[in-house]
Chain A
Amino acid sequence: MNLEKLIFGFFIILALTLNFGFVLGEIDNPAHHNVYELFAAIVINLVATLLKLGDRTQTGALLLGSSLVAVLQLAVAAAVWAYASQIHGDGLDPVFMASVVSLAAGAVIANIISVILLITDTVALRR
């Protein structure tokens, strides 16, 4: 068992599950989307990205790319959330909530790709 692989797999999958958990629910209903979950998803995604820094393999580069996409999507989602709750007059209304969730949903796709890459890499290694 490779400890580095274990840790990396853990963070990649955790990033996907947290992200998915946040997105789940009615898209414009703030009650269905927990801000702590978004925070956790951002932090875990950041960690997963940093773990792949400096990896020179082909899969490593692809994983870094997809993780960066996820982090970017989530960061924009957080910025929209902050704008809506702090600056926007009406607070976090359904319009803003929908855009936050759809941005996070984009990050889910990037995270799914990361997990698929991770699985194919592992399978190829087994052979």
Chain B
Amino acid sequence: MSSTMNKVLFLFLRRMRLPLLVLTAAYSISVLGLVLVPGVDDQGNPWRMDFFHAFYFVSYMATTIGFGEIPYAFSEAQRMWTVFTVYLSVVAWLYAIGKMLALLQDPAFKLAVGQHGFDRSIRRLRQPFYIVCGYGDTGALVVSSLLKRGKFAVVIDNSQERITELALQGLPTYVPALCADASVSARLMDAGLRNYFCQGVVALTDNDDANLKIAITTKLLNPDLPVYSRAERQDTENNMASFGTDQVINPFTIFARRLGLALRSPPHHMLHQWLNSLPGSRLPSRLEPTHGRWILCGFGRFGKAVYRELEQQGLETTIVESNPGVADCPSQCIEGRGTEADTLLLAGIHSASAIVAGTNRDTHNLSILMTARELNPDLFTVGRQNLEDNSLLFDAADLGLVMRHDEIIAEAILSHLTSPLLPLFLTRSCEQAADWANEMISRITAVVGERVPDVWALGLDEASAPALLERLGHQEITLGQLLKAEHPTHERRPCIALLLQREDEKETLMAPADETPLRPGDQILFCGQHRSAAPMALALKESHALEFVLTGQDRPEGWIWRSLGSGRS
């Protein structure tokens, strides 16, 4: 019996002690009275009820069933006693039932029951899962995308409201959720930190300190488990990296880096966007920011990250900040919020080619962009959206680029959870020429159309590809064969290989060609339509399916059919 079950049981028993005592007392007084009070039988002889009949009578009387006066009609004295016992026992029952209902409604009791249910669902989990701490906008995005990619998640959040929201959201599978402070190590243990199936911890609370605590707890209690954490302050980021947090995600830095990539090479940026976006959403369109002078409104964490990147690209930048002293601005900075026309005019809005509204207030950002566009309609506009609720407004504003806090974090985390090969591919792709990126883009478009492609990885190891390994022992198989490139009856699978990594990471092929021979221990990263992932995984496992993929022939399975088939041929 688990400790929470114990807690629930003891809480229940302790609270029910008094009501049960009252019931026992009411029953015993009633029964004893009935036995003692004199009566007469049907012959008119003096008669006293025995304990058996008294208990029988009280049992149906107290529960208001009322079969009548059994076995003989009562004497007046017995009736007087019955009047008393009716009120006594009915009140006792009402009290006991009332107490029990109140106990079931009790928040403490509900919490204990909820925790027990959570513990049980964690213990019964038989599939790999991630612990997601914090179910805000970002957490919700991460969880729903994880489920979409066929992975499983467990949620901890300290707000009951968000837990309820999770239950009401109608996710495709049941996601166990615990309402607790995730930075308390015992709660993380409850969520399955040391569970055999736990694949990693994702710290997404909106508090940097809590995320830090989660990362430390995980690294201490289960050092092998990867931790992905959000960090918005530079010091937290450095701190986390110092004790081996696997991936620290600073949304501002990520966004600035992407902006930098877009400035350097639009095709590369587009390829990154496509592979990083949430699967199933619309493909982001091509982004071509200008190389003129930039105006940067707001020099907070976001502004600083963007400024560094713009400096690196050698672009001239004018900073507008309402509080230059506190924000630690470079010297040539214009004081003001940027929401008024005169500040923007002072910043030279007419001669600028792009504007970034990066304050931490969504209304200010929108106001800055609207004013700026009125003054100079040709501006390339970049807006920072802080709250998910304002999505509609930012969509309607039709900006060149929107920095959506939650999406960036969710995408960054997903790309790591998908496969370690994806970040590798993205890094390597930056070394390739723009033409190469353009070619990749057109190949991906040919396969997936207008939706963001799914990305998955396959490993040719004993566990996931036994059938293929067996065949590789005596025959060469190429990547193209696996993708059914020249299949006699079927069409090519709607996916392309992005990266092939040989065993021991000796050799890494970018966008491997169809003729590439497969070798045991290879890791391959694919992107394309989700529906091609499962049959491909099956072909690696089942020799029958593999045979069909390679030759197009349905080889008879089973001893009898096989021997019949060989006889015929």
B interface residues (Cβ-Cβ under 8 A, vs A): 6, 10-17, 20-21, 24-25, 28, 31-32, 35, 50-52
Contact = CB atoms under 8 A, between A and B. Distances in A.
A82 interface: yes
B17 A39 contact: no
A43 B14 contact: no
Interface residues of A, number: 17
Interface in A36-80: 36, 39, 43, 46-47, 50-51, 53-56, 78
Given A35-B51, A82-B51, A54 B24 contact: no
Given A46-B24, A54-B11, A82-B51, 18 more contacts: A35-B50, A35-B51, A39-B35, A43-B24, A47-B24, A50-B17, A50-B21, A50-B24, A51-B17, A53-B20, A54-B12, A54-B14, A54-B17, A56-B6, A56-B10, A78-B51, A82-B52, A85-B52
B205 to A, nearest CB: 34
18 contacts: A35-B51, A36-B35, A39-B28, A39-B31, A39-B35, A43-B28, A50-B17, A50-B20, A50-B21, A51-B21, A53-B14, A53-B20, A54-B10, A54-B15, A55-B14, A82-B51, A85-B50, A86-B50
B21 A54 contact: no
Nearest to A43: B28
Given A46-B24, A47-B24, A53 B16 contact: yes
A53 B31 contact: no
Contacts of B14: 53-55
A69 B46 CA distance: 38
B541 to A, nearest CB: 51
Contacts of A82: 51-52
B186 to A, nearest CB: 19
7 closest A-B pairs (Cβ-Cβ)? A54-B14, A54-B13, A43-B28, A82-B52, A53-B13, A53-B17, A50-B20
B503 to A, nearest CB: 56
B367 to A, nearest CB: 61
Name the prevailing secondary structure of the A interface residues. helix
A115 B274 CA distance: 76
A18 to B, nearest CB: 13
Contacts of B51: 35, 39, 78, 81-82
Contacts of A43: 24, 28
B24 to A, nearest CB: 5
Contacts of A54: 10-17
A36 B51 CA distance: 9
B50 to A, nearest CB: 7
B13 A86 contact: no
Contacts of A86: 50, 52
Contacts, number: 45
Contacts of B50: 35, 85-86
B154 to A, nearest CB: 29
A56 B21 CA distance: 19
A101 B409 CA distance: 76
A47 B21 contact: yes
Nearest to B19: A50
A83 B161 CA distance: 58
A1 to B, nearest CB: 21
A80 to B, nearest CB: 11
Contacts of B16: 53-54
A86 B12 CA distance: 38
B18 to A, nearest CB: 9
Q: Quick one: which of B14, B17, B21, B52 has the most chain A CB within 10 A?
A: B52
Nearest to A35: B51
Contacts of B35: 36, 39
A50 B13 CA distance: 9
Contacts of A35: 50-51
A32 B31 CA distance: 22
Contacts of B52: 82, 85-86
B106 to A, nearest CB: 14
B20 A39 contact: no
A51 B51 CA distance: 25
A98 to B, nearest CB: 19
Contacts of A39: 28, 31-32, 35, 51
Contacts of B20: 50, 53
A58 to B, nearest CB: 13
A56 B14 CA distance: 10
A56 B51 CA distance: 35
Interface string A109-120: 000000000000
Nearest to B23: A50
Interface in A83-126: 85-86
A51 B59 CA distance: 23
A113 B330 CA distance: 84
B59 to A, nearest CB: 13
A76 to B, nearest CB: 14
A48 B108 CA distance: 27
A56 B12 CA distance: 12
B334 to A, nearest CB: 68
Nearest to B11: A54
Contacts of B10: 54, 56
A82 B50 CA distance: 9
A54 B10 CA distance: 5
B403 to A, nearest CB: 54
A85 B6 CA distance: 42
Nearest to A60: B10
A55 B14 CA distance: 7
